[in-house]
Structure 1
């Protein structure tokens, strides 16, 4: 896997993931929407940690400064 995510992209994804988990834990979102939010939070966290987004590969995007 070649890294295709830059620092800003990773930071934004982690912030969104944290916000989704917080909203779920405070029961602002619940049920099916809450479950979907937690799944997205997990995907955002995982892709941020490995600096690779499969969707970016399909779309031909690269936010990483190193090629």
Structure 2
């Protein structure tokens, strides 16, 4: 997989993922909104941990600096 998510972008994604998971699992638990928020948080967390975003790939966006591993 091609890494196209930079360090700053990954940190922001992890913060948003944890907020969405919090709202989905604790605040809106058991509702359709809660399930949607939890899934959105999981997708953000996976893309942050993997360092790759499919939407960025489709749009040709790359926030990763060339020297980052």
> What is the TM-score normalised by the length of structure 2?
0.86
Give the equivalent residue in structure 2 for 1:50. Answer: 50
Give the 4+ runs in structure 1 shifted more than 3 A: none
State the alpha-carbon separation in 2 of the partners of residues 62 and 13 from structure 1: 15
State the alpha-carbon separation in 1 of the partners of residues 66 and 26 from structure 2: 39
Structure 1 unaligned residues grouped into runs of 5+? none
Structure 2 matches for 1:1-67, cutoff 5 A? 1-27=1-27, 29-30=28-29, 31-66=31-66
Deviation, 1:5, is: 0.3
Structure 2 unaligned residues grouped into runs of 5+? none
Question: More relative contact order in 1 or in 2 (CA 8 Å, sep 6+)?
Answer: 1
Deviation, 1:47, is: 0.5
- Residue deviations 1:18-49, cap 9 Å, x none? 1112223332x341111111111110010011
> What is the TM-score normalised by the length of structure 1?
0.88
